[in-house]
Amino acid sequence: MLYIQSFTFSPVQENTYILYNDEKQCCIIDPGCYFASEEEELKSFIKDHGLTPVLLLNTHCHLDHIFGNRFVQKTFGLKLHLHKLEKQVLDYGPVSGQMWQLPFDNYDGELVYIDENDVIRLGSEELQVLFTPGHSPGHICFYSKPHKFLIGGDVLFNGSVGRTDLPGGDFATLEQSIKTKLYTLPEDVIVYPGHGDSTTIGEEMKTNPFVSMI
Whether 70 and 111 have beta carbons less than 8 Å apart is answered as no
For residue 20, what is the enclosing H or E element? strand 14-21
Whether 78 and 213 have beta carbons less than 8 Å apart is answered as no
Residue 214 lies in a domain: no
Residue 76 lies in a domain: yes
Q: For residue 49, what are the contacts with CB-CB under 8 A and spacing of at least 6?
A: 20, 24
CATH number for the domain that contains residue 39 = 3.60.15.10
Q: How many domains is the chain partitioned into structurally?
A: 1
* Ramachandran category for residue 165: left, alpha or beta (phi over 0 → left; psi -120 to 50 → alpha): alpha
Residue 120 lies in a domain: yes
pTM of the model: 0.97
pLDDT digits (tens, 9 = 90+) for 45-102: 999 999 999 999 999 999 999 999 999 999 999 999 999 999 999 999 999 999 999 9
pLDDT digits (tens, 9 = 90+) for 115-133: 999 999 999 999 999 999 9
Percent of the chain with pLDDT over 70: 100
Residue 157 lies in a domain: yes
Give the model's pLDDT for residue 214. Answer: 64
The 10 Å Cβ neighbour count of residue 121 is 12
Q: What is the mean pLDDT of the chain?
A: 97
Please state at what angle helix 36-48 crosses helix 69-76, rounded to 10 degrees: 40
Residue 96 lies in a domain: yes
- Count, in order, helices (H) and strands (E) of the chain: 6, 14
In this structure, the strands spanning 140-144 and 125-131 are antiparallel
Residue 181 lies in a domain: yes
Residue 61 lies in a domain: yes
Give the model's pLDDT for residue 167. Answer: 87
- What domain range includes position 195? 2-207
Give the model's pLDDT for residue 212. Answer: 86
**Helix, strand or coil, per DSSP, at residue 133:** coil
pLDDT band at 213 (very low <50, low <70, confident <90, very high): confident
CA distances from 144 to 3, 57, 91, 126 (A): 11, 15, 29, 7
pLDDT digits (tens, 9 = 90+) for 147-199: 999 999 999 999 999 999 988 999 999 999 999 999 999 999 999 999 999 99
Give the model's pLDDT for residue 115. Answer: 97
pLDDT digits (tens, 9 = 90+) for 20-39: 999 999 999 999 999 999 99
DSSP 38-92: HHHHHHHHHHHTT-EEEEEE-S---HHHHTTHHHHHHHH-PPEEE-GGGHHHHHH
Q: What is the mean pLDDT of residues 6-32?
A: 98
**Helix, strand or coil, per DSSP, at residue 202:** helix
4-18 in b/e form (b: 16+ CB < 10 A) is beebebbebebbbbb
